[in-house]
Amino acid sequence: MEIKLVIHNLKEMEALAMQIAKRLFPGFILGLGGDLGSGKTTFTKYLAKHIGIEATINSPTFTILKIYQNSLPLYHMDVYRLENIGYDYELDEFIYGDGVAVIEWYEYIISMLPKAMMTMNIKVMSETAREITIKGSDAYAAIVKDLSH
């Protein structure tokens, strides 16, 4: 299942994050792709807010993984630094964990990710507008479909 959405501003980005936050479950895997500065971390901040995480979400670029304990834990990864390595097996327990795994630059570790996941690729259209392509494997198809209206 694949859909494309156009988001015009931060407010609409937050609205999308809120819609996705409602549909998360333990073990949910969300890969975020798109150019530098397209909004992957910004989206993750909104997602965290709407699952009830109060801590400030910063880009985990220099740590690769940040863990936010919560009724539904959030494992926020940014694997940009793994571009030429392609994997980091220490991330496995979080990718296949009991929280929500959000992985910025997921393409860089695609070989260690399962087929069953959802991805969002964010394309910059203007200073505040973004085109977002959301894809989901069978287990996520109903969620992706719900996001289209």
Under rule CB under 6 A, residue 5 binds ligand ATP: no
Under rule CB under 5 A, residue 40 binds Mg ion: yes
Q: Return the residue of 102, 130, 144, 147 that touches ligand ATP, per CB under 6 A.
A: 130
Contact 95, 121 (CB under 8 A): no
Structure tokens at 23: 């549909």
Query: Among residue numbers 78 through 97, which ones bind Mg ion (CB under 5 A)?
Result: none
- 61 closest CA partner among 43, 46, 82: 82
Please calculate the CA angle 71-27-142 and round it to the nearest 5 degrees: 105
The binder of 136, among Mg ion, ligand ATP, none, by C-beta within 5 to 8 A per type, is none
Q: Please, what is the end-to-end C-alpha distance for the chain in angstroms?
A: 14
Residue 119's alpha-carbon distances to 1, 41, 69, 70, in angstroms, are 11, 14, 23, 23
Under rule CB under 5 A, residue 121 binds Mg ion: no
The binder of 60, among Mg ion, ligand ATP, none, by C-beta within 5 to 8 A per type, is none
Query: Among residue numbers 82 through 101, which ones bind ligand ATP (CB under 6 A)?
Result: none
Contact 5, 132 (CB under 8 A): yes
- Compare residues 34 and 99 and give the one whose CB is closer to ligand ATP: 34
Structure tokens at 51: 């699952």
Under rule CB under 6 A, residue 109 binds ligand ATP: no
Q: Return the residue of 58, 128, 133, 137 that touches ligand ATP, per CB under 6 A.
A: 128
Q: Given the rule CB under 6 A, which residues bind ligand ATP?
A: 7, 9-10, 13, 34, 36-42, 59, 78, 104, 128, 130
Task: Please give the residue ranges that form the binding site for Mg ion (CB under 5 A).
Answer: 40-41, 59, 104
